[in-house]
Structure 1
Amino acid sequence: MKNNFFTKNLIIFLIPLLIPTLVLGSLSIIITQRYIKDQITQNNINLLNQTKTNIDLIFNEIDTLNIQFDGTANMAYTLKRVLKKDTLYSSDIANVDTTCFFLNSFANSKPYIYSIHIYYENENGRFCTTNNGITNLNNFFDTSWYDNYLHHPSEEKLWIETRNVKQYDFEENETKLITVYKRMALNNGVIVLNIKADYIQNLLNKSVSDPKQKIFILDKNNSEIVSSQAPGNKIDFDIKELINLNTNTIYSPSENKFLCKSIIHSDRFSWNYISVIPEGILYYVSISLLKYTIVLLLFSFILGLISTFYLTKKNYKQISNIITIIDSAKNNQPLPVIDSNVKNEFSYIIENLVTTFIEQHYLKVQLSERKYKLENMELIALQSQINPHFLYNTLHTIYWEVIKATGSNSKPIKMIENLSNILDYSLTTPCNRVSIGEEIRYTKTYLDIQMIRYGDKFDVLWAYTENVEPINTIKLLIQPLVENCIYHGIKNKDGKGKIKIKLSQKDGFLILTIIDNGIGIDKENLDAIKNKLDFDGEHSNHIGLFNTSKRLKLTYGDNYGIHINSKLGLGTVIYIRIPISYS
């Protein structure tokens, strides 16, 4: 038993100690992880946008060249004329010196430009290029751009490709270029801008926020144009797969870790800019918090273990005394002597135990009395049903005797028939739930009697749709409220009265509104009625109103009673809102 007591105390003591630490640690990890991940992801997006802006500025140089050479300007006209001549003279070369100087100055002022070619279609294979001026395709080292231009679809005006060129045969490594082609709109020809891929790569290398981060630029076919990684640093995952993945992570087998991606798109060249960064960088702070949380949990557990052992040893004797007292009380044995001088939590427990035994005995007596009263009330209720049933049977007999005697369907017979139906509806399983349709038919039967009694004293307007009729509700919901309108509002009114009964559905609730233009209620009496409706009071003048309110609260809860508003001389509005249910 002592071991069980120790175990229970350990659980009770450690749970309040460990759970807050665990919850706070977990929340800190989750919130920090989410915040840092979102922050780094946003920073990566901003980084990619800045990189995209910088690279777009570089490749937009093609637009400046297009303005100069695709038009009717003197420079473009002179160059085109010279390229198409069969034989070139020194004067022709002199005429295009200005153009060559412009191209060379333009290229030399931009460290990322490798070369520029201006080609107007001609039978001589001539074009103008930086550093070499007017030259021929047959004796120039870089001609692959021309083949691409010839075989590229003519409807595409702007495109980009990566190429490798070698100016001299003795060069060991080829130079990687990113070539921009701009097909001229006003002239038959093309402007070729060759960008150094190494320059773009260095730009990407300087843009990364972490040495392990990689940035890729892919063309519209998801082929790599250039990336921030060094040429010898191979990747072991499929870039195209990375684009098509719905998730933002991909596994790298060589690094044995997951990588997070961020992607933005460039509409100008249909490029995708991709940033890839190891997940460990995102979760570094979260992992540190997890370690600290585990250490704190272990420390709390050890501290709780020591504290529980000390408290268990101290209190076990007192608990044993309490158990002895309880066993003695159960077995009707004399209680052991209790030291009244001891004032601690155990003395309060013993006092509460004695008080509890007394209260339980008192509650048992009260329960027996209430059970007796309930049985007596049920007997009275059963006896009280005898007279109404006798009245119904007698009324039914009178109805048939009148039919035999008169042989006609007169108003008295109609009234007797309606009254008989009302009694039948009221007495049949009074506690059962009914549909709104049954309530409407019952209320209309009641109103038929009142119409005969009062003549043209009032009109009744019904406003509802068929979809409310199947809704389930308590019996005698509408008729007592209509009766209240007639006897307290319309009866004493000068002139003809009106009663509007509206049923509708809204947000899962049935809304019942009954409006009359009777004499209304003054403010003092209205406040008294509202107060008694809120606190289930009685009122001799509005029995149907208060009875219906009580039944609504007993059926649906205290929040679903009757709401009433009235203005003396104008009329009264009764509003009921109950949950929709179906039988």
Structure 2
Amino acid sequence: MKIFKKRQLSMKTQFFIKSLLVNCLLLLIPISVLAPFSIIRSNREIESSIRKNNWNLLYQIEEHMDSLFKQADNINLYFAHNPSIITHLRRAFRENSLTLDSLNSINTFSLYLQNITNTNNYIHSVYVYYNNTYGRFLSSETARLTNLSGYYDTEWIQSYLHSEADTWYEVRTLQRSSFAQPFRVISVYRKIYSSLAGDHPTGVIVTQFNYERLIEYLNSLELSSSQVIAFLDQDNQMVLQNQETELSQVLQAISFSEHPEEKDNLQAVNINGRKFVVSSLQSSRTEGWRFLSMVPADELYATSTKILNTAVFFMLAAVMVSILIAAVKTQKDYSRLEGILDILQHPERPSEMYPPMPNRSTDPYGYIIRNLLEMFIQQNYLKVQISEKKYKMQTLEMQALQQQINPHFLYNTLHTIYWEAFRMTQAPNTCSKMVSNLADIMEYSLSDSQQQVKLKEELDYLKAYVEIQKVRYGDKFEVFWEVDDTAIIYPTSKMLLQPLVENALYHGIKEKEGSGVIKVKVYFRTDHVLVSILDNGVGMDREQLEALRNRLKDGDTVDSHIGVLNTHRRLVLAYGEHCGLHIGSRKGAGTVVSFRLPLLPREKSI
């Protein structure tokens, strides 16, 4: 016996290993083939996209900066190459006391500068300076001649006096006062020369770009979260960057092409163990500046990383599933063998004790078991039929007993709960009132739905419903009643008003911030009674209102406003199309729903 069990265990282990290997091969081969292919293809598409997108991005930035430099060039041409303007400005700068003609000229030039700074958000200010002993210069910020001694920004004049270059750039931090917020500008200097002065400059024009506005422009582009855009001057010195990142190691690690506007210059660098993809564009238009883009490689190749992680996950999952399937299959096969032996050893047992019938004979064990079970089940076929009929009869009997429960039992139970709550406090309380209102509602609902009632009864039913809702929602809403006493004696169909008030509460007041108001108006007219439900809830816009009116017209009840739609249908069936619901609404103002109850000739004389 022990030898048999050992052989059985050994055979079971062999079956398990064989099934596991087959399952692993079937599940892992597709993943092993598709994953590397997907990663390689994804990397190629990403690299192609990086080259194209970075080139377009850097070219777009170059176009933008070129337009700004052209604006600076226009300012320089206006003030440095127009003899009439130069003459007027130099005279105004050197006069001890400005003449009326000089004041008019200064006003004209100031308006020109203000127009430039007002129409271009990226130009912060413009300074025009001609050499003079009074320390005067023209500023777009003051719109007049300004003296250096009283101005907050004087560093630029020292830079002009000590620089030997004709054109240069500086990133400067300015502060209008000790209490003001500091701000940065990119100052572009261009010296002014005159044929009479030879090689000595006669002045300087300083165009200052708003550093923060340029940063905002770069961040408004479609950049990744960690993408860095930097501007380098002709000496590869940092001018501007959109994120505070140390780029000195990057600048040392990459090699710049000397060919302007070279398109294919994608480089990969490793900085502090992290890989970055760097693109640059050498501009031939913006004074030799270079535009640099740097993106972490892990962000660019995130898709490939996700594919790899997903492949590893699915491989591990495939191994786990293979183990589970192999274990289940092995156990299933041995259970079938044991089932065959058990059937052969006990053929006299009831059919309920047989193993489950295989659906399809896809293996030898299933074929044997199926034939054995069919043979034994045929012998007990009539017994099974009788058992099934008996079970069905019992089920039908149980359902009949359940349906005999009188719904009035619930109504009587509510009254019992009401008196128990009354007894506990020796006085009416919130619980007893709610139970009383609910009992009134149930009694009203359980009566004949086709029965005509007076408007007074319908309003009493509605008030009971409102009282329950007020307990639930507290001060969320108030209900005001404007009821003509002469109208409440006329008959109406049951349960017309409650769905309309419920709709006003759930779709109007509930969605509104703060509390709301619902008005119930009932007025007597010559040949009809007019009923209106008004609320100051969220209301509906024109499209929503038209859609609801169309559903009322078409009789569509598949909607969240099913109570309103059913009430409209009941009114139309009972009194005609002209007595259906009329709905008006305005977004943010509220909604009004009204209908008519026509009076018969006999009722008009009441």
**TM-score (norm: length of structure 2):** 0.44
- Rg comparison, structure with higher value: 1
If the length of structure 1 is used for normalisation, what is the TM-score? 0.46
